[in-house]
Amino acid sequence: MIVWIGSTARTGGTVLYNIAAGLIVASGNDIQAIDNKDLIAAFDMTTSPPCPTQALGKLLNGGIAIGRGGSFYSDIFQHPSCRVVFVKRDIREAAASMKLLNKSTYEQVTKMIRGWYKIHLQYKDLPDDRCLRLDYCELSNLAAVTRKIADYLNLAVSDDDCQNIADKNDRNSLKTQFQKRADDFMQRLQACGDEADRAGCLLIPIVQNNQETAARIPVSYLSEETARVLENQETIYKLDVLLPDFEPVALTPNNDGRTFRINFPPQADKGFHINFQSEHVSRPENSKWQSVFSAQEVQDLEELYRPMKETLGY
């Protein structure tokens, strides 16, 4: 079986991945992390719908594969081996959350909404037995969501295990985990002053909890790929920082073109827990998306989203 978390940004995809992975492990199945490239490589994309190749057996290797991809969709999901979990959320709410997270402009927000709408349409058309669609507000009761996903995936997991998995992934737990790791990272950076003086450094403004800190990052602690991008003056999509005896960190640029935020890239560790991506955890309850836009922008977004809402139903 292939489990895919088909989320767009700011809809709880990381939490759902954590939950699904935890359920697979709790059910006693072997688990294999995949990405969209692995998925595409396991199918013949020249057929309609795509047909699995021998590579699929190697990919699954007797276990259950799980992946997620922001704004990724493929007709592969129509295949009987696939089980997709998708979250329905008012796209304006998700875009408002992204605006707060990475300082997006209004023009960038409208582009996001149009792009995400197309993704929502594609998942809307999947057969019900291929796609479990959750309302975003359901994430306010993670225990119930965890049970629902376990039943959909036909995984034998007890209610107690479902509750434990839900508790591990609730909003407060994720924020606490992230903040501790981010604080550790910043403290370790501050302790690298001698290396920064010796090897040279980048002065990077990092934003945490709406506070900006100028961080000195030794160039010797940047990944080879990051060093290559900087040397060639290419567009910076992330700065990979590899501190000694610390997990990899990706500094991602905000849309203001100046500041960066801390991200912890996904890792398959003992609990197969994908790492939370930022300190800005979306709230499952309905948000006041209008509060982050001007009165004219709210009016324009209402007009833009009206036909989308009629088609999607949310």
What does the pLDDT look like over 43-64, one tens digit per residue? 999 998 899 998 988 888 889 9
Say whether pLDDT at 179 is over 60.
yes
Query: Would you state the pLDDT for residue 269?
Result: 45
Query: Would you state the pLDDT for residue 279?
Result: 42
φ, ψ of residue 67 in degrees (nearest 5): -150, 170
For the entire predicted model, the pTM comes to 0.78
Choice between 286 and 133, residue whose per-residue pLDDT is larger: 133
Q: Cβ distance 94 to 11 under 8 Å? A: yes
For 2-169+290-312, the fitting CATH number among 3.40.50.300, 3.90.700.10, 3.40.50.1110, 2.120.10.30 is: 3.40.50.300
| C-alpha separations of 20 from 8, 32, 66, 75, 205 in Å | 17, 12, 8, 21, 35
Q: Which residues contact 208 (CB under 8 A, 6 or more apart)?
A: 182, 186, 261, 262, 279
What does the pLDDT look like over 100-112, one tens digit per residue? 877 889 999 999 9
Say whether pLDDT at 203 is over 60.
yes
Say whether pLDDT at 276 is over 80.
no
Q: Are strands 51-52 and 43-44 parallel, antiparallel or unpaired?
A: antiparallel
Q: Which residues contact 97 (CB under 8 A, 6 or more apart)?
A: 10, 280, 282, 287
Query: Would you state the pLDDT for residue 270?
Result: 39
Query: Would you state the pLDDT for residue 285?
Result: 52
Average pLDDT score over the chain: 89
- Give the Cα-Cα-Cα angle 8, 126, 154 (nearest 5 degrees): 90
Query: Would you state the pLDDT for residue 109?
Result: 95
Q: What are the residue boundaries of the structural domains of the chain, listed by start?
A: 2-169+290-312, 185-263
How does residue 267 score in pLDDT terms, banded at 50, 70 and 90? Answer: low
- 126-130, 178-182, 248-252, range with the lowest pLDDT: 178-182
What does the pLDDT look like over 215-234, one tens digit per residue? 999 999 999 999 999 999 99
Say whether pLDDT at 91 is over 90.
yes
